[in-house]
Structures are given as structure tokens and as C-alpha cells.
Chains A and B, each alone.
Chain A
Amino acid sequence: MFFYASWDFLNFENPIPLFFTHFLVVICTNYLCILGIEKSKKQEFKKFFMVLSTLFNLSNLAFFKYFYFLFEIVSSITGNPEWHTNARANFQIILPIAISFYSFQIIAFVVDKYRGEIPEHTTFVEFSLFIFFFPQQLAGPILKANEFFPRLHSPKEVTKEDVEIGLYYILLGVLKKGVFADSLAYAITPIFANPSQYNAMSLFLAIVGFLFQLWGDFAGYCDIAIGCGKLLGFDLPNNFNRPFYSVRFSEMWLRWHITLSRFLRDYIYFPMGGSKYGEFRTTFNSASTMVIAGIWHGANWNYILWGVVIAISLILERQVLDRFQWWKQKSEGWDRFLKNCVILLFWLVLSIIFRANQLSDIPIFLERIFSFSVGQKVKYDELVFIPIVMMVMQYYEYTPTMLIWIQKRFWVVAISTSVVLLFLLSELGNKQVQFIYFQF
């Protein structure tokens, strides 16, 4: 709690830490609904409390996250652009940190409670601990109750293996975020600020750079969270599993931000009917789920387009590509390599959409790259060698062989990694770029 309150509270400018108070109100309101579900005998009452809690969380999220965006849409539909301008001028809404993550985690908990998947009574302290669990609170992995409560109820002794693997995850996370992702961020920021000034190769490298920055940044955070969890005796789920080695469009989302995909599957896709109601409904359900995932990322047309493009890729794969045996079958060697290249290219398209400062920059990127435009050249070697190193790292980082190898030589690895990290962080100049997913 102190961790969350500190960024508001430590300023000493506000006598009451506003965002912390807001967070407490959210937790208390949800806990009342949880009690309602637990105490109600009738299924209809249980459902009422579940719906009430879900609506409350979604409205809370919508208000903070989509307020200006909704005004923008309404003003453009009604032809009153001043409404949007006035809303921006008159209401200063700051997005509380972690709101998207904790909202989803709470919704998942309440729905699981309603479904009877958490039969035992949950105390207020337990529920608060679940939501306030500091390692993953700000940007995931999004936890499910069954990944947290068993450990809470019967704490296991932290083993030597937990400590060693936990520290490995933390060092890995710092390396990905502090060294790789932040270096890439500094190299690509000027290019994304002014794509029309740069040549085709620089633009291409900037897109590649952003793709790896995003992975390093987010996976780095999750690694640190998992590592801290291990040191405390909790096994948090992995959020990434070699995403850039996917060979199918649908596989990408089983490897990238795994806990969000799991949430979307369990609480949106399945309730919509999943794959139970024929081909058309299945395609529609999976496409709409991805559009919702896009909207979840932020109040921005880029994210919506991002979701739509993913939805199209899933439809295309299900309806067209899967008719070809070559695409559908499990493959090895060159086949796998070719499919992997196709998916990597798709990752790059998604990264332009995700990162472009405005929608109008996207065609500039594509046009300049494909017309081999001339312009300023990128001066950063990082854009070439860091993605290569990261690609190799992604392949080996969580393999059991790697984990055993590290445990066998723990102190050699720990000391050498610490020295290298310290020097690299210093060499690269303490860039300290904020975690990208903190904005969600």
C-alpha cells in the first residue's frame, strides 16, 4: 500500500493521497460486492452483485481512460469540436497508475467468485493483498486467484532454487529494460517524432527497434515481478514465451502478454460463446476480442486500429490460410523459418501502428520505406546489434537447460552479470525511460 501511495503521498503537497484513496474506495466497493456474492443464497442475487461490480470497474476504467476520447468521438459525430476542446480545458483527468491491470484482476476475481471457482471465504485483508501485491501491481502479469491464494493460505518455504531463479529473473529484467529497451527508446524517439525527415533504412530500423524495445520494456518488468514473487515464495505466471518465434497469427497471442490473452479468453471470448456456435460466430468472437484488447490499451485511434488489424489477421488465418496444409501443419527447418519471417513482418506492421505518434504517420512510414526514400540517416549502432542480441536472448532465456546451467554456477553468473550490468547501465548513461505499460 505504501508502494502505491508513495508517488502521491511523498510529495507532501497533498494532505490526502488522492489516488491511493481512490484505489481504496475501488477495493472497498468491490469487496462489498464480493461479500454480496458470498452471502447471497439465490443465484440471481449473486449475478446482480457480479454485474454491479463489473459495471463499477468498467465505468471507473472508462471514466479515467476514455473520458477525453469519448468527448472527441461525440464532438466529431455531433459536429461540435469545441466540446472536446472545452473538456480538455475544464477537466484535468490524470490516469491513476495501474488502473487497467488492477481493474482486470478485480473483474477476474469477482467473476471467478460468482462462478464458484473460489469457494472459500475471502477476507478483506486477503483481497487487498491480492490486489496490492506490489511486484505485479503496476503492469502485470495479471493474476488469477488460484495462482495467489493457495500460497497465501499455506506459505511454502522459500527454497535455494527459488532465490537463485528469482535473482536470475530480476537481473534478466533489469538487463532487458535498463540496458536494451531504454537504449533503443533513446535511439528511436527522434525518428518517430519526425518520420518524414529520415531515410528508408532508418525508418525500418526504428520500427525494428521499437518492437524489441516494447518486448524488453514489458517483459523486463514482468521478469522483475516474477523474480520478486519468487523471493517472496510466490510463483507468478510467465507473461512471455518467445513471442517473436511464433509461426501462426493466433500463436502470437499465446506467447505475448499471455495473462492478458488468458483474461480475454476466459472473461470475454468464452462468455461470448467462444467456438461453440459455428464458424461465423467463432471468427466474430475472436475478432471482437482482439478489438477489445486494442481498446483496452488506450483511448487512441492507433490502438483501435492495432486491434482491428490483429482481428483481420486472425480472420484471414482461420478463413484463408488454414485451408493450405503448408500453413496449418506443424513445421520444422526452412518451413518454420519462412513462417516465422511472415509473422515477424506482421509484428513490424503492428509496431508502426502501436508507436506512431499519430495515425497520419503510418502511411508516411510505409511510403518512405517502400519507396527507399532518402533523408537523414540513423546514427545509432544500437538499432542493429541490440535487436540481434535480444532475439537470441529470447530463445534461450527461460529454457530449463538454461535455468539448470545458471543454478550450477550461480555465483559466477550473479557476480559477472552484476558487474556487466553496472557497467552497461553506467556506460549507456542512465536513460531512465518510463515503463511503456505504466500508461495502460
Chain B
Amino acid sequence: MKKYLLYPLYIFLFVFLLDKLFYIPMIRELFVKNNYNFYDMIFKFEDSFYDEYLEKWKKKGLSEKEIFKNTMVFIGTSRSETFREYTEKDIINNPFVQDHNKILNKPVIAHFMRAGTMFHIYQLFEHVTEKYPKEVVFAIEVNYGSLNENSYIRQRKDAENLKWSSFKEIYPVLSTGQILSFVTSRLFILNMYSVSLTKPFQKKKEQTPEELIKGLFVLVKHYVAKKDNVSGFTMEGNLEGQENSVNMENYRLFINDFMNTLYYKFKVSSTDNLLFKKMIQSAKEKNLKIVFYRPKIHKDLRKETDLKFKDAEENYLQDITTILNQNGYSFYDLEKEGEIKCAYFRDPSHLSKTCIPEIIEKFDKVYSHEK
């Protein structure tokens, strides 16, 4: 055989071996920009909030035991983000809350993945539930839209960065494509890290969790930029039906974007469905207290999603309500008329902070008899 016919193989072997050098921690430390994989980054980011949260309530004179006895932990997508952002100002004089004092003293924390799918929420759930003691009540977002297999955000191939321990746990529910994706990503370690040839010459600087997570989702950064900068989106929110014309124009653009990215070619991921069931099973085994809920969205966005998957979503909600009831868990559909009175929105997909205290008060009653 002519030697030059093996050239492609030589080049492949060279690249393969070069990549394997990054299994050596020292080399990784030297060249890799973010020496964490995708989920590590997210978890590190979330853990920093856990520490901040404990610190904040300890400053109020509560012991760790007292804090956790009363804590409610929200887990979900960006729709759970607002549970991290609301302040005392949003509770005082809030017309939708009955017992203002109780909600003022209620420790609440949220862990979320912006534009997350059920796949991501499951990973977050497994990580977060390990951290908290069993006394806390978890509130988990159930969002039909986050099951989309063709969502823009899924281009990150969510299975690729799974840790080996998580992969072992969930591989039976993964699709063949996801398993292949995971296996091939393991063939090349650099698939999971970002290297920089200039890093060894740069000044060492400890990155903040925010810096670590920066750039993970271009799309989300785009949304965040819009949310913060565009007039019409205010932190206080806009009462549904009373948006001004600037708002409405922005809402329309937001909805267009939303439908073309996160809900693009909507198809329910069977893996996500199975992971949801696995989450319930895991919660039962760990004996966790959980409230499941469907977040409320603006009626204009609802109109669009209804056009896309109204019947399928209703069937899905019926199914999960049955499964949750069978397992002794409550499900709150905040979209239902009368479930919550507040209808202020920061944008078509997210409730305003004004509505958060009412939701907390509602969920707080679910396990109150056990306290």
C-alpha cells in the first residue's frame, strides 16, 4: 500500500491525540478558557445564588434550620427568573396579597435556565434537590413550550455536555441521536471546552459566575438586551389590556421572535416527556414536597401558541394532571381563569414582579398544614 494513502489517517490521529492532551488537567488549566462544562457552569452559577440567599436570610437573624423550614424553591426557565428578582417593594401594598407580613418573611429562591427545555430543567432539578434539605417546598414550572425538540436553543445539543454520572442515569430515555451525540462528544474532549492559545500569556483573573455563563445563549442575550433596553418593557410591568402603542409594537416583535425561535417547527421531544416522568419518580423516592405549575403568559402570545398547539397542549396538561394526582402532587394552571388575579406583564412571555407575591402566597398554602 502506498504510504500517502494513509495521510488522512495520520492527520486524524494527530488531531485525535492533540485533543487527548486536554485530558491532562494541567494543560486544560493552561489553555481552556472556561474549565467547566456547560452544566458545571450553570450549576456553579446557581450555587452562587444559593450562598447569597443563605447569607441574606442569616443576616435577618434566622438560623439555617429556620430558613429551610419555610423556604420555597422555584425551578424552571426564565419564567421562574422573576422569583429571584422581586423585592420587598413589590410586596408592600401589593393589592393581590392577603397576608403581606407572611410573604415579606417568606424565604424564596429561584433556580432557572433561561430558554431552558425540560431536559435542562431536569438536570437543574437533580442538582438543586441534592443541595436543599427535605423540608423545603419546590415549585416546578411545567411548560409545554419547553418540550420543543426543534427549539433554537436545542442546537446546543443538550445531551452532548451531560456528565457521565447523569448520562448513566438517564440514557434509557435518550433518543439514539442524543446517545450518539454524547458518545461522539466524548471522542473529542475539546468539544466541551473553549480553548484560547493566548490564555497562558494573559493575566490570571478569577471569573465571576456571571462571566462564566456569559455567551452561553446568544439568543437569550438578545432577549435580555431587549428586555432591559427597549422602552415599554418595565420592571413594574404592564397591566394586560392597558399596554400603550410602543408596548404593543414591542410585544408583537417579541412574539414573532419567540414563535420563530423557541417554538420553531414545534415537535414534542419524547425524551423530555420521559424525563418529566423520571423527575416525578425521583421526587417520590426522595420524598420531596413539590408544587407543579403552569406559568401565565400574555394573551397575545397565548393566541399564537394556541394556533400552534392548543389541542396538543390541553391533552398534555390533562395527562400530566393525572400523573401528578396519582403521585399525590398538586398542579396549578395559572392560565386558568381565577387561579391568580394579577395580570401584569414585563413582556409577553413573562409575568411582572407584581404578580410574584400572589403566586408565592398561593403555593405556600399547599403544604402549610404540614408545618
Contacts and interface: CB of A to CB of B under 8 A. Distances in A.
Given A163-B8, A189-B218, A415-B14, A426 B195 contact: yes
Given A190-B222, A415-B14, A426 B193 contact: yes
Contact of A430 (B33, B175, B191, B257): B191
B197 interface: yes
Interface string A413-436: 011001100110111111111000
B19 interface: yes
Contacts of B195: 423, 426-427
Contacts of B98: none
Contacts of B177: 10-11
B176 interface: yes
Which of A160, A167, A430, A432 has most B Cβ within 10 Å? A430
Contacts of B197: 423, 427
A357 B253 contact: no
Contact of A197 (B176, B230, B260): B230
A63 to B, nearest CB: 19
Contact of A422 (B157, B190, B194): B190
B191 A186 contact: no
A139 B187 CA distance: 27
Given A186-B218, A190-B219, A167 B155 contact: no
Interface string A196-220: 1100000000000000000000000
A158 B5 contact: yes
A167 B8 contact: yes
A193 B180 contact: no
Interface magnitude class on chain A: 20 to 34
A194 B218 contact: no
Interface residues of B, number: 37
Interface in B47-88: none
A20 to B, nearest CB: 16
B218 A376 contact: no
A357 B261 CA distance: 12
Nearest to B160: A430
Given A10-B176, A422-B18, A194 B7 contact: no
B229 A376 contact: yes
A164 B193 CA distance: 30
A418 B229 contact: no
A91 interface: no
B160 to A, nearest CB: 8
Interface in B203-262: 215, 218-219, 221-222, 225-226, 229-230, 253, 257, 260-261
B8 A425 contact: no
A12 interface: yes
A422 B219 CA distance: 25
B253 A194 contact: yes
Contacts of A160: 2, 4
Interface in A354-413: 357, 376
Interface in B157-186: 157, 175-177, 180
A50 interface: no
B15 interface: yes
B175 A432 contact: no
B196 interface: yes
B11 A167 contact: yes
A357 B4 contact: no
A414 B4 CA distance: 13
B260 A357 contact: yes
B196 A427 contact: yes
A370 B215 CA distance: 31
Interface string A1-26: 00000000011110000000000000
Contact of B4 (A163, A419, A422): A163
Contacts of A258: none
Contact of A196 (B33, B253, B261): B253
Contacts of B261: 193
A193 to B, nearest CB: 5
Contacts of A11: 175-177
B7 A164 contact: yes
Interface string A220-232: 0000000000010
Nearest to B152: A189
B193 A432 contact: no
A163 B226 contact: no
B190 A426 contact: yes
Contacts of B180: 10
B7 A163 contact: yes
Contacts of A189: 218-219
A82 B234 CA distance: 38
Contact of A163 (B5, B157, B229, B230): B5
Contacts of B219: 189-190
Nearest to A227: B8
A418 B230 contact: no
Nearest to A191: B222
Interface string A149-188: 0000000001010011001000000000000000000100
Nearest to A434: B155
29 contacts: A10-B177, A10-B180, A11-B177, A158-B5, A160-B4, A163-B5, A163-B8, A164-B4, A167-B11, A189-B219, A190-B218, A190-B219, A190-B221, A194-B226, A194-B257, A196-B253, A197-B226, A415-B14, A418-B11, A419-B18, A422-B15, A422-B19, A426-B190, A426-B191, A426-B193, A426-B195, A427-B197, A431-B155, A433-B155
Given A10-B177, A11-B177, 16 more contacts: A11-B175, A158-B5, A160-B2, A164-B4, A167-B8, A186-B218, A190-B221, A376-B225, A414-B11, A415-B14, A419-B18, A422-B18, A422-B19, A423-B197, A426-B194, A432-B157
3 smallest CB-CB distances across A and B, nearest first, come from A190-B222, A426-B190, A160-B4
